[in-house]
């Protein structure tokens, strides 16, 4: 704002900082999204400021006169919009909650300069999420999801009127709100420090079933030992542990009994894991968000696959594959990119694999690690982290020491193979091409060529073949089998 004020002072029309930036300034919270509001000419102002500051800008919404400036090196965005109405008073009346219906002249410096027409400062002091007026949520139902997010993100309470308004619109949410807007609100909710609390609040408000019916369907699905919770509560507990594990990946402290062991597992690969989680896939969806979506849907297939044996044992055979299909359909309907959907499908469909790899009491072989990543690709890293959270949630802690140590050892091998031996074990260099295979096996182009090349690659990954001559012998031995 210090850099902006001299430029804004030269404008003929007044400029106001509005919404979350003012709220977070009062709360002393960092905010990287600054919203400015002007009576008119917002896009034109956007490009004047961008030119003066030397930052890229674009028109976000020509009809509504909204522009955006990207301050890339600071990870900050400046959104400049025309008033929602003819006056500042109209603009603030059209906002969602009183704590966001705050404005400050661009030359303001203190809390005394804040324009507060709806007692938002009082609600900040009492930590209340209150609608600006009785039709706030009915006018835009996605605000019900937003209320839950702010409640969890800020640690605030929903007032009785806000809670009632959210519950009232819940049944109509999918019909009155675009799938993309629901996706964006849910994604922000999943990105808070305690995502499990946000999903639990949605369920309490009756919003989970209309927004995510597949997750709400887990309520009431019982599970046998060693699980100590039903399927829905287990999912929430997985999200809680997953958020803690992510903090360890980021190098932030977590004071729990198991954190030191997980820290030792993660530490050698922290840089690589952070890069993976922070990298965006097509559509701009970051890896850590997709991991959270994977955690949310990891057991989504249990409602459809539950069976009960005569002795009362509850099973969920194939729930991982069923869950991958369910997650893929829901995320596709939300408008996630194909790459993002594929990543989450791999996370959900593969979340049991580390457990399976521990069951024979041996560490994964090179062949097993190759097959793991051949199936899951980059999501193998996510699955390793999710498997830790799933185990901790199942036992509400580490459970039996032997099983916990075995899981840690398995994931350590999988991570080590990927980060330290990728070119030899995960993606070994091709020793023979398709033409060479056809000549050696005396076969025409077709599926058999691809099969032999895949077998050869796996043999290389396992350390059974390392030279071109050995590869030739291998192809001749396996041709026609």
| pLDDT of 360 | 82
DSSP structural state of residue 107? T
Backbone angles phi, psi at 57, to 5 degrees: -150, 160
Above 90 in pLDDT, residue 2?
no
Region 255-269: mean pLDDT is 94
pLDDT tens digits, 135-193: 999 999 999 999 999 999 999 999 999 999 999 999 999 999 999 999 999 999 999 99
| pLDDT of 72 | 81
Query: pTM of the entire structure?
Result: 0.93
β 115-116/128-129 pair status: unpaired
Bridge partners of 157, per DSSP, are 128
What architecture does CATH give domain 132-211?
Answer: Orthogonal Bundle (1.10)
List the one residue out of 119, 141, 138, 140 whose CA is nearest residue 130.
Answer: 119
CA distances from 262 to 23, 254, 381, 382, 413 (A): 37, 10, 14, 14, 14
Q: Which fold has domain 1-126?
A: Beta Polymerase; domain 2 (3.30.460)
Above 90 in pLDDT, residue 31?
no
Which percentage of the chain shows pLDDT scores above 70?
100
Above 80 in pLDDT, residue 481?
no
Say if 1-126 and 132-211 have the same CATH topology: no
pLDDT tens digits, 83-139: 999 999 999 999 999 999 999 999 888 999 999 999 999 999 999 999 999 999 999
Q: Where are the domains of the chain?
A: 1-126, 132-211, 227-426, 434-478
Whether the Cβ atoms of residue 395 and residue 258 lie closer than 8 Å to each other: no
- Chain centroid offset of residue 282 CA: 14
Region 267-294: mean pLDDT is 96
List the one residue out of 49, 163, 6, 25 whose CA is nearest residue 97.
Answer: 163
List the one residue out of 350, 360, 417 whose CA is nearest residue 390.
Answer: 350
CA neighbours closer than 13 Å in the CB half-sphere of residue 238: 28
Residues 6+ positions from 296 with CB-CB distance below 8 Å: 190, 195, 199, 212, 215, 235, 239
72 vs 215, higher pLDDT: 215
Above 80 in pLDDT, residue 480?
no
CA–CA gap between residue 334 and residue 337 (Å, rounded): 9
């Amino acid at each position: 704002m210090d850099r902006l004020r001299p430029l804004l002072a030269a404008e003929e029309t007044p400029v106001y900082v509005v919404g979350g930036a003012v709220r977070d300034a009062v709360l002393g919270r960092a905010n990287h999204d600054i919203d400015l509001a002007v009576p008119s000419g917002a896009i034109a102002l956007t490009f004047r400021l961008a030119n003066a500051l030397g930052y890229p800008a674009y028109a976000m919404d020509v009809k509504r006169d909204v522009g955006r400036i990207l301050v890339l090196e600071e990870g900050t965005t400046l959104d400049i919009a025309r008033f929602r109405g003819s006056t500042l008073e109209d603009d603030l009346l059209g906002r969602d909650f009183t704590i966001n219906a705050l404005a400050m002249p661009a030359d303001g410096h203190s809390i005394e300069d804040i324009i507060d027409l709806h007692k938002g400062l009082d609600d900040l002091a009492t930590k209340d999420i209150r609608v600006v007026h009785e039709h706030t949520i009915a006018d835009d139902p996605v605000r019900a999801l937003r209320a839950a997010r702010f409640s969890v993100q800020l640690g605030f309470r929903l007032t009785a009127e806000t809670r009632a308004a959210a519950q009232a619109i819940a049944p109509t949410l999918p019909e009155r709100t675009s799938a993309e807007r629901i996706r964006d609100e849910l994604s922000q909710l999943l990105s808070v420090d305690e995502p499990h609390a946000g999903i639990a609040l949605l369920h309490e408000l009756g919003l989970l079933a209309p927004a995510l019916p597949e997750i709400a369907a887990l309520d009431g699905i019982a599970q046998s030992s060693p699980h100590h919770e039903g399927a829905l509560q287990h999912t929430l507990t997985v999200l809680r542990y997953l958020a803690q594990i992510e903090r360890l990946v980021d190098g932030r402290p977590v004071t729990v009994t198991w954190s030191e062991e997980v820290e030792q597992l993660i530490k050698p690969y922290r840089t690589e894991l952070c890069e993976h989680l922070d990298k965006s896939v097509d559509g701009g969806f970051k890896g850590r968000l997709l991991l959270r979506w994977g955690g949310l849907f990891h057991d989504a297939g249990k409602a459809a696959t539950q069976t009960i044996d005569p002795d009362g044992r509850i099973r969920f055979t194939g729930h991982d594959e069923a869950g991958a299909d369910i997650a893929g359909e829901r995320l596709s309907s939300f408008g996630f990119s194909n790459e993002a959907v594929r990543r989450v499908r791999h996370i959900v469909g593969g979340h049991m694999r580390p457990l399976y790899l521990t069951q024979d009491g041996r560490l994964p072989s090179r062949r097993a690690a190759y097959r793991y990543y051949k199936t899951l690709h980059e999501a193998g890293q996510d699955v390793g982290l999710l498997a830790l959270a799933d185990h901790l949630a199942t036992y509400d802690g580490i459970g039996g020491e032997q099983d916990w140590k075995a899981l840690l050892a398995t994931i350590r091998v999988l991570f080590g193979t990927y980060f330290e031996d990728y070119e030899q074990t995960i993606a070994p260099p091709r020793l023979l091409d398709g033409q060479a295979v056809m000549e050696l096996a005396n076969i025409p182009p077709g599926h058999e060529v691809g099969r032999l090349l895949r077998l050869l690659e796996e043999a290389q990954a396992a350390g059974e073949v390392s030279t071109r001559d050995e590869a030739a012998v291998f192809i001749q031995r396996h041709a026609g089998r």
